[in-house]
Amino acid sequence: MTVPAIKTAGLSKQYDEVTALDGLELTVEQGEVYGFLGPNGAGKSTTIGLLMNYSKPTAGTARVLGFDPWTDVVACHQQIGILPDRFDTYDNRSARRHLQLVADTKGADADPAALLERVGLGDAIDRPAGEFSQGMEQRLALAMSLVGDPELLILDEPFTGLDPHGVALVREVVDSESERGTTVFFSSHVLGQVEVVCDRIGILHRGRLVDEGTLSAFRERLDLTAEATVEDVFIQLTDESVQQTTDSARLREEDQ
Amino acid sequence: MTLLAGAQPSWFPLAREEARGLLTAKGPWILAVLLVLWGYRPTYVGWQGLGSNMTIGFLQTAGSFLLPLGVLLLSYRSVVGERTSGSLKFVLGLPMTRSDVLVGKVLGRSAGIAIPISAAAVTLGVIGLIRFGAFSPLLFCGVLLSTVVYVMSLVSVGTALSAVTTSTVRAAGAAFGGVYLVFTAFWTKFAEIIYATVGTAPPETTVGTASVNTFSAPADGLFFLLLRLSPGRAYRVLTNWLLGVGNSGGSFDAVITKLETPTSITIYTVESAFHGQTPPAYLHELSGVVILLCWLLVPLGVARYRFERGDLV
């Protein structure tokens, strides 16, 4: 049996008064395309930040491709391609140099021209990223994540700032990378765009994984029609979870 | 090729990119031009003390006041700027440790700033060669090397501050208010106050309360050690020693004036304070190198400790 691509146990992150992540139990098997969904502020980027060693957990453990993400940083990142959320590129560096830095650090034999061609930036290879539109920056970051054919692709809100062509491009990249055997873990709050690409979805709400499974399983369990979209599943689940939270809050108040 | 990639440390590509970024930007080259204009100051006393080696003294003049300001300006945002913009997420996602990121930043920035500064030094050398004749090339290289170590120390301090602050404004405050004003520009004043407050001035120099000034400089090794804890003064102690003008953190022409001419001048030199007595061994001019290396390593070590542990996004 192979190790899971991502496995967390009791993963929690507390910021002063705010609980951003509360005991996350998540397993993503290798080769899967996993959609990590939730409204803004649910803790998706916090989770990805922890898995990428951008921040340290308050409690819990995690394994990424079998490595500890906070101590085996080098081994871990060698296998990961990351498209972060709310990033910025280097204004005075060309698209080519952005990719070259990743390739050189990973010791990968990458072809920047081919990668940029693939994301539709073939003409902009030697232009400084400072001149790029938001959509172009997003495409550049996607190309950077693909350098060195990573085993695990982590895409944080990959559809942000993209026009319909860009959205189609991300889907196409996810599909082809998945076919190659890459595990894809991506977060999104734009639900309509994920159902076609995901094997499995997990729904995060207020720092907790409220449910996960395939879309068809959700449909069956929640007694939705076959036409129900991720949107419907999502609204129903997060409503339930809000209901539960308010119920338990009321119970606590009554106890006092 | 594979062998070469395997042999290079993991921070090397980042350092190369940092250096390239600076070398293709205007800032470091503007600094280089200003340093030439600032450093070229022929004086009679300089010529009297050093002859044609006065040209090498121009390097020290260039390295004082303006250089630390410029280098801190080019370093204080190196980490916190990327942190607030979000580009740090790419760097931290690369296969290297956070410590590697700091090392790559410091070495890459040092190279990107030291190269234009070396070009400024060579320009000063050429101008001096034409105007005042041949100088000692070995001495020139020694002073240039000292200047490069000084630059590295300043980049290291600036990057260390940048790594432990969460806003560019705070990093700027610490770099300019703390490091530049206190430790570089006005350190002599601060050292006098610290010494007068907590120091133990020898009785013969004490009139009433412990007071310190350049006319009644105490023959106290600790006071002179305190003075040279400033990176700028440590740099001048080292370069004055190489130039052979005396044991002092003052500028080379001031040291010559104080020690070689009958003029009384308001700077501290070990020779004039100790009047032929043997100063403590730790006041040897090589202490300048030790202090510069401390500035290079200690703040960065502290910053590394905190940078490895905290939340960076």
- Residues B220 and B227: their CA atoms lie apart, in Å, by 11
Residue A235 lies in a domain: no
- With an 8 Å Cβ cutoff, is B168 touching chain A? no
**Is the same domain home to A10 and A74?**
yes
| Range of the structural domain that residue A123 is part of | 90-149
Residues of A in contact with B17 (CB under 8 A): 93, 97, 101
Number of domains in chain A: 2
**Is the same domain home to A115 and A213?**
no
> Between chains, do B94 and A144 touch, taking CB under 8 Å as contact?
no
Largest CA distance in chain A: 66
List the single residue in A with minimal CA-CA distance to B313.
A54
- Of the residues A21, A48, A73, the best mutation for testing chain B's interface (the one with the most B CB atoms within 10 Å of its CB) is A73
**Structure confidence by residue, pLDDT tens digits, A180-199:** 999 999 998 877 767 778 88
- Name the least confident of A29-33, A41-45, A123-127, B27-31: A41-45
Backbone φ and ψ for B277, nearest 5 degrees, come out as: -65, 160
- Of the residues B96, B166, B313, the best mutation for testing chain A's interface (the one with the most A CB atoms within 10 Å of its CB) is B313
Residue B188: predicted pLDDT: 92
Q: In the sheet where A208-213 sits, what is the strand order?
A: A80-83, A152-156, A183-188, A33-37, A200-205, A208-213
> Between chains, do B94 and A101 touch, taking CB under 8 Å as contact?
yes
CATH number at residue A47: 3.40.50.300
Residue A238: predicted pLDDT: 72
Instruction: Judge whether B83 and B312 are in contact, CB under 8 Å.
Output: yes
> Between chains, do B90 and A74 touch, taking CB under 8 Å as contact?
no
Instruction: Give the closest of B87, B94, B312 to A77, CB-based.
Output: B94
**Residue A146 distance to chain B (closest CA, Å):** 12
- With an 8 Å Cβ cutoff, is B13 touching chain A? yes
End position of a domain, from candidates A133, A149, A165: A149
**Is the same domain home to A33 and A145?**
no
- B5, HSE (Cβ side, Cα atoms, 13 Å): 9
**Is the same domain home to A60 and A185?**
yes
For B266-313, where are the alpha helices, taking DSSP H only?
270-274, 287-309
Report the Cα A79 to chain-centroid distance in Å: 15
**Is the same domain home to A16 and A141?**
no
* Mean pLDDT score of chain A: 88
Q: Is B8 left (phi over 0), alpha (psi -120 to 50) or beta?
A: beta
- Of the residues B12, B89, B96, the best mutation for testing chain A's interface (the one with the most A CB atoms within 10 Å of its CB) is B89
Asked if pLDDT for residue A244 goes beyond 70, the answer is no
List the single residue in B with minimal CA-CA distance to A78.
B95
Backbone φ and ψ for A81, nearest 5 degrees, come out as: -110, 130
Asked if pLDDT for residue A201 goes beyond 70, the answer is yes
Residues of A in contact with B94 (CB under 8 A): 77, 101-102, 105-106
A243 — pLDDT class (breaks 50, 70, 90) = low
Residue B285: predicted pLDDT: 95
Average pLDDT over residues A20-30: 95
- Residues B86 and A159: their CA atoms lie apart, in Å, by 17
Residue type, A213: G
Residues of A in contact with B313 (CB under 8 A): 49, 54-55
**Cβ neighbours for A227, distance < 8 A, ≥ 6 positions apart:** none
pLDDT tens digit at each of 313 positions of chain B: 444 555 689 999 999 999 999 999 999 999 999 999 999 999 999 999 999 999 999 999 999 999 999 999 999 999 999 999 999 999 999 999 999 999 999 999 999 999 999 999 999 999 999 999 999 999 999 999 999 999 999 999 999 999 999 999 999 999 999 999 999 999 999 999 998 888 665 544 444 445 566 666 788 899 999 999 999 999 999 999 999 999 999 999 999 999 988 877 888 999 988 887 899 999 999 999 999 999 999 999 999 999 999 999 8
> Between chains, do B90 and A107 touch, taking CB under 8 Å as contact?
no
**Is the same domain home to A56 and A112?**
no
> Between chains, do A92 and B309 touch, taking CB under 8 Å as contact?
no
**Is the same domain home to A113 and A138?**
yes
Instruction: Judge whether B251 and B269 are in contact, CB under 8 Å.
Output: no
**Structure confidence by residue, pLDDT tens digits, A164-179:** 999 999 999 999 999 9
**Is the same domain home to A112 and A71?**
no
Instruction: Give the closest of B90, B95, B311 to A87, CB-based.
Output: B90
Instruction: Judge whether B133 and B55 are in contact, CB under 8 Å.
Output: no
What are the extents of the domains in chain B?
8-309
Residue B206: predicted pLDDT: 45
> Between chains, do A92 and B17 touch, taking CB under 8 Å as contact?
no
> Between chains, do B313 and A55 touch, taking CB under 8 Å as contact?
yes
Instruction: Give the closest of B6, B21, B97 to A74, CB-based.
Output: B97
- Residues B246 and B284: their CA atoms lie apart, in Å, by 11
Residue A216: predicted pLDDT: 76
Strands A6-15, A18-28: parallel, antiparallel or unpaired by DSSP?
antiparallel
Strands A200-205, A6-15: parallel, antiparallel or unpaired by DSSP?
unpaired
Average pLDDT over residues A147-169: 93
List the single residue in A with minimal CA-CA distance to B82.
A88
Task: Specify which residues A13 forms β-bridges with.
Answer: A21
**By C-alpha distance, which of A181, A226, A213, A240 is closest to A32?**
A181
Residues of B in contact with A92 (CB under 8 A): 21, 24-25
Q: DSSP state, B267? A: -
What kind and span of H or E run contains A6? strand A6-15
**Cβ neighbours for B196, distance < 8 A, ≥ 6 positions apart:** B209, B210, B211, B212
**Is the same domain home to A49 and A145?**
no
- Residue B169: burial class (beta carbons within 10 Å; 0-12, 13-18, 19+): exposed
Residue B266: predicted pLDDT: 82
- Residues A111 and A107: their CA atoms lie apart, in Å, by 12
Residue A161 lies in a domain: yes
Q: At what angle do helices A95-106 and A134-146 cross, to 10 degrees?
A: 20
